[in-house]
A = this chain, B = another copy of it.
C-alpha cells in the first residue's frame, strides 16, 4: 500500500489520473491532492469518497511514497524537487526535467529499465505525441533499429488543456450550420473569430503550428518529438524530423509516420511484431484505419495503414493514434507508479 500525492488534481490529465487510479485499483493507503490557490478546499470525488484539495507547502509531502505531477513546467520545476527531497519518488508529466541528464524519460511499455536511473528521485513522462508514437514504434526498433523518422501529426485540442477544449467547443457551437460562410471565405468566416489559445480558428480548420517557435523554425512540440525519442530509444543521433499540426478533434492524437530501418523490415514481420506489442492494438491486421475518436477513452494505442514504403526498400509507412490524456499522459504516469510502488 502506498501513500500518494497528486499535484495538479483539477486539470484534464489530473482528472483522468484519478479515474485510472480507481479503475486499476491502485493500492492506495493515503491520497493527497494538491491544487492551485483558487481550488484549495475543493472536494474531488475519488473511489467511494471525496478528498479536499490542499495547497502546495514545503512540508506538505512528508510521509508520501509517490508524488505524481501534472502542472505547467515552472510549477513542476519548483515543486518536484521539494517532493523528492521529502523522500517521495516523483513522476513528472511536465517538460521541466525531461532533458536533464540525471532524470530518465520512461514509457512503461518501452524502457521501464530506465527507472533504475532516477538519480534525483524524479522520472519524467514524455510529451503525449512522443508517447503515442513510441509505444507503437518500440517493438519495430527493437527488431530492426530505426534510423530515420519523418512524422506529421494530427493533434487534438485537449493537448492544450481545458482551454483548448473550450475554444473548439465554443467555435463549434457558433459555427454550426454556417458551412456556407466557410466555403468561399478567403477571410475568417464571420461566424468564427480567432480564439485565445490559437490566433486562427480551429473549428473547421487545421493549424500547422503546435507549441511555440524555437530553433531552425521548428516548434517546441516538434523538438520534443525529436529529443525525447532520442533519449527514450537511447540513440542520441537518431534522425527524426517532424511537422506538428493541430486539428479540430477533442481527444486523441494521431501520427502519420515514415520509418527507415538499419535492417529492412517487411510489412509481414512488422504486423507480427505490432500484433504482439504491449499497449498496442493492431487494427484490421494492419490494414485498418483507426481514428482519434476510436482511440479516445481507451488504453491502447491503435495502429493501422501499415504499408511498405515503395519509394525506399525496407522502409514503412504507418498510422498511429492514441488518447493523449490517457496513454499520452495519465495512464503512463499511473503505470510508472505501479512499477515504483
Contact B208 A254 (CB under 8 A): yes
Residues 283-318 (chain A) with a chain B CB within 8 angstroms: 286-287, 289-294, 296-298, 304-312, 317
Residue A243 at the chain B interface, CB threshold 8 Å: yes
Residues of B within 8 A of A169 (CB): 177, 179
Residue A165 at the chain B interface, CB threshold 8 Å: yes
Residues of B within 8 A of A250 (CB): 179, 182-183, 204
Residues of B within 8 A of A175 (CB): 172
Residue A241 at the chain B interface, CB threshold 8 Å: yes
Residues of B within 8 A of A258 (CB): 150, 241, 258
Contact A205 B311 (CB under 8 A): no
From known contacts A186-B296, A307-B218, infer whether A256 and B243 are also in contact, taking CB-CB under 8 Å: yes
Inter-chain CA distance A312–B307, complex, in Å, is 22
Which of B165, B201, B213, B298 lies in contact with A179, CB distance below 8 A? B165
Inter-chain CA distance A178–B74, complex, in Å, is 33
Q: Write the chain B residue with the least CB distance to A158.
A: B183
A146 to chain B, nearest CB (A): 12
Inter-chain CA distance A311–B243, complex, in Å, is 13
Query: Which of A169, A187, A217, A286 lies at the interface centre, i.e. has the most chain B CB atoms within 10 A of its CB?
Result: A217
Contact A216 B310 (CB under 8 A): yes
- Copies of this chain, whole number: 2
A319 to chain B, nearest CB (A): 5
Residues of B within 8 A of A193 (CB): none
Contact A179 B183 (CB under 8 A): no
Contact A208 B176 (CB under 8 A): no
Contact B241 A208 (CB under 8 A): no
Residues of A with Cβ closer than 8 Å to B? 148-150, 152, 154, 158, 165, 168-169, 172-173, 175-177, 179, 182-189, 200-201, 204-209, 213, 216-218, 239-241, 243, 245, 247-251, 254, 256, 258, 267, 286-287, 289-294, 296-298, 304-312, 317, 319
Inter-chain CA distance A286–B243, complex, in Å, is 14
Residues of B within 8 A of A183 (CB): 158, 165, 250-251, 296-297
Inter-chain CA distance A240–B201, complex, in Å, is 32
Q: Write the chain B residue with the least CB distance to A199.
A: B289
Inter-chain CA distance A182–B298, complex, in Å, is 12
Which of B168, B208, B241 lies in contact with A304, CB distance below 8 A? B208
Contact B177 A311 (CB under 8 A): no
Inter-chain CA distance A220–B16, complex, in Å, is 39
Inter-chain CA distance A240–B309, complex, in Å, is 9
Query: Which of A206, A213, A287 lies at the interface centre, i.e. has the most chain B CB atoms within 10 A of its CB?
Result: A206
Contact A312 B239 (CB under 8 A): yes
Known: A204-B293, A217-B286, A256-B256. 11 other contacts (CB 8 A): A154-B206, A183-B297, A185-B293, A186-B294, A204-B249, A205-B291, A207-B289, A208-B305, A213-B287, A241-B309, A243-B319
Contact B239 A188 (CB under 8 A): no
Contact A152 B256 (CB under 8 A): yes
Contact B297 A185 (CB under 8 A): yes
Residues of B within 8 A of A248 (CB): 204, 247-249
Selected A-B contacts with CB under 8 Å, 14 pairs: A149-B311, A150-B150, A152-B243, A169-B177, A183-B251, A185-B293, A189-B293, A206-B247, A208-B291, A239-B312, A241-B258, A241-B311, A248-B248, A258-B258
